[in-house]
């Protein structure tokens, strides 16, 4: 994907000021990791009279399809050449829009520390996009950009120049010219590129409404194609479109009345507003773990790999958990956990319920035996795979609590994170991330080897295509195995007595 932004200048106002606005030096070629590919910024020309910045986005088409499963995310919705041959690596779309917001984020916000006066100054801009999907043709391109003050050139691209009778493709070669603030120009492109493509490569959730309103501030409320822009940008999700339209109407009314939006939208008392807000995934994960522990009637609980003590803190709130032990190999993490829990100021009765100990999960530890339950929350993915069997034996074979709860990221869900670059794991320290099939295979093997039964729980929104963001396995010692073990222990005692 390719896009250029050009401007002209004078000795008093050199065109190379574009480099200050974009926060990218004209003498350097720079590369950035973005969702689904690598973005390159170069300047084909940079002089006082004329300066051009080019954004080239290299898309990993194979990863795009494999991670998106080809269901409306990797390939064009009407592509007839199957998964690995489509327009995604070449035609401007939401992929390029995300790259714009990532690479030129400061410019889009209208900030420039080096020359603070520049962002407010309109520039003679020329924007070129050689291949732009336009569902609605050149007429729609003009209908979207001309009300914003652009002079629009939208030349249809022929399906095949050697066969003119085949007609035009749905792509146009776009040229925009006009006096615009650079921040406004970038926001126009950020919204309207995916609108013209009429498809997004990532899952559209409620936070997309906020993104649309931020990028559309100052121009979207009065745009004659507001409804079409809103509907397409939000992937025609009716509930989100209605929410956005209502908020845009409030903005329009406030501007008409020369008032703040808050003064117009004052029918609801914020103190009594009961509208539910999105719950962070970390909170959903802790709630799921606590719920599973309650269901097993566990009282004495190990938090293995407790980190900074968030789960320990949550368990302390419920008196049914009479003993909680946090274990971590990092003394720094345990120190932070101690401060979080305020152990030095905790009452005697409360302090008797909690203990923090240093230990490695790769080795057996007698201190960990005899507990009702153990939790490995977002732990296993931090180990190198060859060390996983050692952890498995230390927990399931040696410590052997009645219940073990394991949570880990579902790598299939990573395609729903807009800002996660292609092929990257969620955290730099993750040694691996498993698909649902891989996690279930590992958990089933562990359960069979050590005499546990296992059930799986989805944590977070369970996407019909890629599953939940977090996958959880609840291991419980099987009744038959407990009976066999008790018999073995009794026989051992009798042999020793004899």
**pLDDT for the residue 2:** 86
**For residue 310, how far is the Cα from the chain centroid?**
22
pLDDT, one tens digit per residue, over 24-47 is 999 989 998 876 778 899 999 999
- CA dihedral for 487, 488, 489, 493, sign (positive or negative): positive
Distance of alpha carbon 127 from alpha carbon 179, whole angstroms: 11
From 52-61, 81-90, 464-473, the region with the lowest mean pLDDT:
81-90
| pTM of structure | 0.53
What's the pLDDT band for 78 if we cut at 50, 70, 90?
Answer: very low
Residues 6 or more apart from 105 whose CB is under 8 A from it?
none
pLDDT, one tens digit per residue, over 365-385 is 999 999 999 999 999 999 999
Give the gyration radius of the chain's Cα atoms: 29
Would the pLDDT of 450 be above 80?
A: yes
Sheet with 323-328, edge to edge strand ranges? 354-358, 323-328, 300-304, 373-377, 403-409, 470-477, 452-459
**pLDDT for the residue 88:** 59
Contact between 423 and 61 under an 8 Å Cβ cutoff? The reply is no
Would the pLDDT of 253 be above 80?
A: no
Distance of alpha carbon 255 from alpha carbon 189, whole angstroms: 24
From 286-300, 418-432, 464-478, the region with the lowest mean pLDDT:
418-432
DSSP 434: B
What's the pLDDT band for 74 if we cut at 50, 70, 90?
Answer: very low
Would the pLDDT of 467 be above 50?
A: yes
**pLDDT for the residue 141:** 92
Would the pLDDT of 243 be above 90?
A: no
Give SS3 for 176: strand
Structure tokens belonging to residue 67: 């991670």
**pLDDT for the residue 494:** 53
Would the pLDDT of 486 be above 70?
A: no
What's the pLDDT band for 71 if we cut at 50, 70, 90?
Answer: very low
Which helix (H) or strand (E) covers residue 291, if one does?
helix 281-295
Structure tokens belonging to residue 177: 């010219």
CA-nearest of 273, 251, 274 to 264 is: 251
Mean pLDDT (whole number) for 275-281: 71
What's the pLDDT band for 85 if we cut at 50, 70, 90?
Answer: low
**pLDDT for the residue 92:** 73
Backbone φ, ψ for residue 385 (5° rounding): -55, -40
Contact between 15 and 50 under an 8 Å Cβ cutoff? The reply is yes
Residues 6 or more apart from 163 whose CB is under 8 A from it?
none
| Angle 73-79-85 from CA coordinates, rounded to 5° | 85
User: Parallel, antiparallel, or unpaired for β 452-459 and 354-358?
Assistant: unpaired
Distance of alpha carbon 242 from alpha carbon 209, whole angstroms: 10
pLDDT, one tens digit per residue, over 219-231 is 988 899 999 998 8
Name the H helices within 221-309.
Answer: 226-233, 238-256, 261-264, 281-295
Q: For 227-322, list the strands marked E by DSSP.
A: 300-304
Residues 6 or more apart from 401 whose CB is under 8 A from it?
302, 371, 372, 373, 374, 395
The string of DSSP letters for 372-412 reads SEEEEES-GGGS-GGGHHHHHIIIIIII--SEEEEEEEBGG
**Based on the number of CB atoms within 10 Å of its own CB, is 92 exposed (0-12), middle (13-18) or buried (19 or more)?**
buried
Mean pLDDT (whole number) for 239-254: 74
pLDDT, one tens digit per residue, over 44-66 is 999 999 999 999 988 876 656 55
């Amino acid at each position: 994907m390719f896009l250029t932004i050009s401007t002209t200048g004078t000795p008093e106002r050199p065109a190379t000021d574009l480099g200050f606005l974009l926060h990218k030096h004209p003498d350097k070629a720079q590369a950035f990791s973005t969702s689904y590919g690598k973005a390159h910024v170069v300047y084909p020309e940079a002089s006082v009279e004329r300066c051009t910045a080019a954004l080239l986005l290299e898309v990993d088409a194979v990863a795009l399809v494999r991670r998106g499963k080809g269901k409306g995310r990797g390939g064009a919705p009407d592509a007839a050449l199957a998964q690995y041959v489509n327009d995604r690596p070449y035609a401007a779309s939401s992929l390029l829009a995300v790259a714009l917001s990532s690479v030129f984020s400061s410019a889009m916000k209208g900030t420039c520390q080096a020359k603070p006066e520049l962002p407010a100054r309109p520039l003679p801009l020329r924007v070129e996009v050689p291949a732009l999907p336009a569902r609605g043709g050149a007429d729609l391109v003009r209908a979207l950009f001309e009300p914003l003050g652009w002079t629009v050139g939208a030349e249809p691209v022929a399906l095949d120049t050697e066969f003119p009778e085949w007609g035009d493709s749905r792509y146009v070669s776009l040229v925009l010219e006009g006096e615009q603030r650079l921040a406004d120009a970038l926001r126009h492109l950020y919204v309207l590129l995916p609108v013209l493509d009429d498809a997004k490569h990532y899952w559209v959730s409620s936070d997309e409404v906020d993104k649309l309103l931020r990028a559309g501030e100052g121009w979207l409320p009065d745009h004659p194609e507001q409804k079409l822009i809103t509907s397409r940008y939000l992937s025609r999700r009716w509930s989100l479109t209605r929410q956005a339209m209502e908020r845009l109407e409030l903005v329009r009314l406030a501007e008409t009345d020369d008032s703040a939006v808050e003064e117009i939208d004052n029918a609801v008392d914020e103190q009594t507003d009961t509208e539910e807000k999105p719950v962070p995934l970390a909170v959903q994960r802790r709630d799921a773990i606590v719920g599973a522990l309650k269901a097993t009637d566990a009282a004495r609980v190990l938090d293995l790999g407790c980190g900074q003590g968030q789960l320990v803190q949550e368990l302390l709130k419920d008196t049914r958990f009479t003993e909680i032990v946090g274990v971590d190999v990092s003394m720094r993490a345990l120190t932070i956990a101690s401060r979080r829990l305020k152990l030095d100021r905790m009452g005697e009765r409360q302090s008797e319920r909690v203990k923090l100990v240093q230990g490695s999960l790769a080795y057996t530890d007698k201190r960990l035996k005899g507990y009702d339950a153990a939790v490995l929350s977002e732990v296993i993915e931090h180990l190198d795979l060859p060390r996983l069997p050692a952890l498995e034996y230390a927990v399931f074979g040696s410590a052997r609590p009645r219940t073990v709860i394991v949570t880990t990221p579902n790598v299939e869900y990573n395609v729903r994170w807009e800002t996660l670059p292609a092929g990257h794991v969620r955290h730099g320290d993750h040694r691996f991330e498993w698909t649902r099939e891989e996690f279930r295979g590992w958990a089933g093997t562990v359960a069979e080897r050590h005499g546990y039964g296992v059930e799986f729980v989805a944590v977070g929104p369970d996407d019909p295509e890629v599953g939940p963001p977090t996958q959880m396995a609840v291991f419980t010692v099987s009744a038959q195995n407990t009976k066999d073990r008790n018999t073995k222990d009794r026989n051992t005692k009798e042999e020793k007595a004899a």
